[in-house]
Chain A
């Protein structure tokens, strides 16, 4: 009885070669998902993301404790929360690119997905989404601070930020992240790209101001070439048509151009 139940095994192998099915294309959503996980999965990445929340909480608490509590409005909190954001978010943009080189994961990444454009596209999209979400979180913490202050003072909270201003602040930070991302592509080296970002955002404005004091031509026309002059306007004022054009032109010069050059370099360079 047992002998009859023995399953017939393929003793003779088929003579034809096995056809192995070509795997389906890796969908962009999967690359996007992997790149997003990369930004959160390491200890340093995790704390970088956590620092967004931590820094907003610290800035808000400091504003409540040290500021003139009578005069605090939502605008004060947005400004307080905004200053750590304007530092942290571009660094996230920089490290999204450069950590592949500093940790040498680029070797694996670009072997698994040889189409580097797809990887970089996913990184860029993730960076921008994280920027927008971070700004929402930061302003949420600031709003909480505003409510707490109103409760302490026993007054109505003042909400003095129009939604258009809010959109402008997000745009300004996204531009900062794009600048960081572009510098990351250009240098592919964390220290160089980070120093580059701070030089462009914190040192060049001072130099530009000094030049404007010495040279009348620069004083009149500097806004066409100085990214920070127009980008900082986004934080607290309504831009005129000319200022929007200047913002577009300087962004082209400082963000789009290095982004294009950096992209070209990364697509071609040897990954080491």
Chain B
């Protein structure tokens, strides 16, 4: 029976004994596993772990600061959300940047892209992991703020005020995800932690001022500014004020300029570049 079978792979039907032993081809690495590994990478090192802990820690610090410093009539959910939003808007983009750049600064990229040579999948997994971390962080932040609101109003002795309409919550989360996406893009384009971090602070804290100044000086730019300045779109999201179709179109325009186009170009370069 066995003598009839011709080993197709070796092409030697006559001498089955001399055939190369068949090696099992491993199944393709499922995306879930890549995602899982990338998620673990974000938590498993000491610096990664403390970066994640700082999300919760800073939420608590901001909440306590509101209870201690805010006047009694401002112990509302909005105050807590705003106070927590401050550290979140800085730390979440840093998480997104370092998700990418740490592969280069720690040189783990050599191992990563050897084990999974399809770099696009790794980047996609990183993007998904970053997105998950962002959403969960925002949930934690909202929960800490809610707890602070309950405790704060009890300590001060005022009624608990829930003055953030539920409809604005998704917009606030989207605003933070937008910041993370900008950070992620900068990480992909620059692939260098210091440069990407400086870049993020420049485009998020320095550039808006310059654009507003320019809009004041030049008339043709004042109409154009909300279509170009992603910070305006983000602030609108934070305030839950993105209502009209035009405002969503402006958001789309700034997202295309600052996220979609540079991210596509960055990924194309990243797939080709030598990993050192």
Contacts and interface: CB of A to CB of B under 8 A. Distances in A.
Interface of A: 44, 66-68, 83, 87, 91, 94-95, 102, 189-191, 194-195, 198-199, 202-203, 207, 211, 214-215
A66 B218 contact: yes
Which bracket fits the contact residues of B? 20 to 34
B205 A194 contact: no
A68 B217 CA distance: 7
Interface of B: 47, 69-71, 74, 86, 90, 94, 97-98, 105, 192-195, 197-198, 201-202, 205-206, 210, 214, 217-218
Interface centre among B71, B86, B90, B201 (most CB of A within 10 A): B201
Given A214-B69, A215-B69, A198 B217 contact: no
Contacts of A211: 69
A190 B217 contact: no
A68 B219 CA distance: 12
B90 A203 contact: yes
A51 to B, nearest CB: 10
B273 to A, nearest CB: 15
Contacts of A83: 206, 210
Contacts of A102: 105, 193
A194 B86 CA distance: 17
Contact of A87 (B74, B94, B97, B198): B198
A267 to B, nearest CB: 22
Given A203-B86, A214-B74, A190 B69 contact: no
Contact of B71 (A66, A68, A94, A214): A214
A214 B193 contact: no
B145 to A, nearest CB: 16
B206 A66 contact: no
**Interface on chain A toward B: helix, strand, loop, or mixed SS?**
helix
Contact of A207 (B86, B197, B198, B205): B86
B193 A202 contact: no
B101 to A, nearest CB: 8
A125 B201 CA distance: 27
B197 A191 contact: yes
Task: From A66, A67, A191, A215, name the one whose CB has the most chain B CB atoms within 10 angstroms.
Answer: A191
Contact of A190 (B194, B206, B210): B194
22 contacts: A44-B195, A66-B217, A87-B201, A87-B202, A87-B206, A91-B194, A95-B194, A102-B105, A102-B193, A189-B47, A190-B105, A190-B193, A191-B97, A195-B94, A195-B197, A198-B90, A198-B201, A199-B90, A202-B206, A211-B69, A214-B70, A215-B69
In order of increasing CB-CB distance, the 6 nearest A-B pairs are A198-B201, A202-B205, A190-B194, A194-B197, A191-B193, A191-B197
A228 to B, nearest CB: 13
Contacts of B205: 198, 202-203
A89 B214 CA distance: 25
Contacts of B195: 44
A262 B198 CA distance: 22
Contacts of A44: 192, 195
Contacts of B90: 195, 198-199, 203
B106 to A, nearest CB: 9
Given A44-B195, A195-B90, A198-B205, 8 more contacts: A66-B214, A66-B218, A67-B217, A68-B217, A191-B194, A194-B194, A195-B94, A214-B69
Contacts of B202: 87
Contacts of A87: 198, 201-202, 206
A260 B38 CA distance: 39
A95 B192 CA distance: 13
Contacts of B214: 66
A91 B198 contact: yes
Which of B97, B198, B206, B217 has the most chain A CB atoms inside 10 A of its CB? B198
B2 to A, nearest CB: 58
A90 to B, nearest CB: 10
A95 B105 CA distance: 14
